[in-house]
């Protein structure tokens, strides 16, 4: 019985690991799929302007192919881009090479894990855009990441990130059906394809195992299934985890237009600042009699 449990845990661990890598293996397809996602880019650009008041140093976790990195560098910021996906970082390097020299020089690429990365210097702003922290699957991993970021923040700095607001109706969808069927043209092969998706959700670990299906429209050739795993964080839980890591939530939004978080939101956007330790009360000296 114990051996079966160990094997089950190993299979789950392998599935989670695959789900943190496979969606990012084809960087060209990734960029194509999210080419119209612009609201969060605009938000983080405006955030940097408000927080920094001008060009500054920004630490970006899960920078990927540079969807947010490059606009920030174009705005004059020095961006240290951290990611562990080699295909995505190769795509970022390729895109950086096409930038004007001044903008390209403001991007530093650092291969690294969210929990153990090391970046040069201190930063007044750290960001993690587009659900990056949903690849932290346990309380310990999230805590390690938050504390690692804190070590890289300059005094007065902030860590700003977004994750999805869990959608209960989506979580309990029938995992045997296909959803969101869409026809598109693969940017690498030029073939007409159908995209669809389904998922399983474990309410105990709060991990969703998502399957992305890519099927040729003409039915010729193999189909492809790509796994994507995400840890879902509920608002009160997330606020408590952030506090446990030594931060306070100074601002919280429900979208990328600065609207407050409510039950209809798709995203949770948190502005987190290291909490100032409470001053210890001074011990009064006893008067001698």
Which superfamily is assigned to 37-165+234-274 in CATH?
Answer: Vaccinia Virus protein VP39 (3.40.50.150)
pTM: predicted TM-score of the whole model, two decimal places: 0.92
Cβ–Cβ under 8 Å, residues 172 and 200: no
Contact 274, 242 (CB under 8 A): no
Identify whether the C-beta of residue 63 lies closer than 8 Å to the C-beta of residue 130: no
Res 6 pLDDT > 80 = no
Q: How far apart, in whole angstroms, are the C-alpha atoms of residue 193 and residue 180?
A: 13
At residue 288, the pLDDT reads: 45
pLDDT at 123 over 90: yes
- Rounded to whole angstroms, the Cα distance separating 98 from 102 reads 11
Task: Calculate mean pLDDT across residues 168-183.
Answer: 97
CB atoms within 10 A of CB 81: 30
pLDDT of residue 287: 46
Residue 208 has pLDDT above 80, yes or no: yes
In this prediction, residue 4 carries a pLDDT of 46
The token pair at 262 is 């409510």
Segment 91-114, tens digit of pLDDT: 999 999 999 999 999 999 999 999
Domain-wise residue ranges, the chain:
37-165+234-274, 168-231
CB < 8 Å & 24+ apart, contacts of 201-208? 201/171, 201/172, 201/232, 203/171, 205/137, 205/231, 206/166, 206/231, 206/232, 206/233, 206/234, 207/16, 207/137, 207/231, 207/232, 208/171, 208/232
């Amino acid at each position: 019985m114990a051996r079966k449990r160990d094997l089950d845990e190993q299979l789950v661990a392998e599935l989670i690991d695959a789900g943190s890598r496979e969606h990012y293996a084809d960087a060209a397809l990734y960029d194509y799929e999210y080419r119209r996602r612009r609201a969060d880019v605009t938000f983080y650009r405006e955030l940097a302007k408000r927080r920094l008041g001008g060009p500054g140093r920004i630490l970006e976790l899960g920078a990927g192919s540079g969807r947010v990195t490059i606009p920030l560098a174009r705005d004059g910021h020095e961006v240290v881009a951290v990611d562990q996906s080699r295909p995505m970082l190769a795509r970022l390097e390729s895109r950086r090479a096409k930038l004007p020299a001044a903008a390209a020089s403001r991007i530093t690429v650092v291969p690294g894990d969210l929990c153990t990365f090391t970046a040069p210097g201190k930063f007044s702003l750290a960001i993690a855009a587009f659900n990056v922290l949903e690849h932290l699957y346990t309380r310990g991993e999230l805590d390690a990441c938050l504390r690692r970021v804190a070590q890289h923040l300059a005094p007065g700095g902030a860590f700003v990130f977004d994750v999805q607001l869990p959608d209960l109706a989506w979580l309990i969808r029938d995992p045997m059906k296909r959803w969101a069927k869409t026809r598109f043209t693969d940017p690498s092969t030029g073939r007409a394809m159908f995209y669809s998706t389904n998922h399983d959700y474990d309410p105990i670990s709060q991990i969703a195992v998502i399957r992305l299906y890519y099927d040729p429209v003409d039915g010729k050739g193999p189909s492809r299934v790509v796994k994507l795993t995400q840890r879902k964080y509920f608002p009160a839980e997330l606020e408590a985890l952030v506090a446990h890591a030594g931060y306070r939530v100074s601002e919280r939004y429900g979208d990328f237009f600065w609207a407050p978080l409510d039950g209809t939101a798709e995203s949770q956007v948190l502005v987190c600042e290291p909490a100032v330790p409470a001053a210890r009360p001074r011990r009064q000296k006893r008067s001698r009699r």
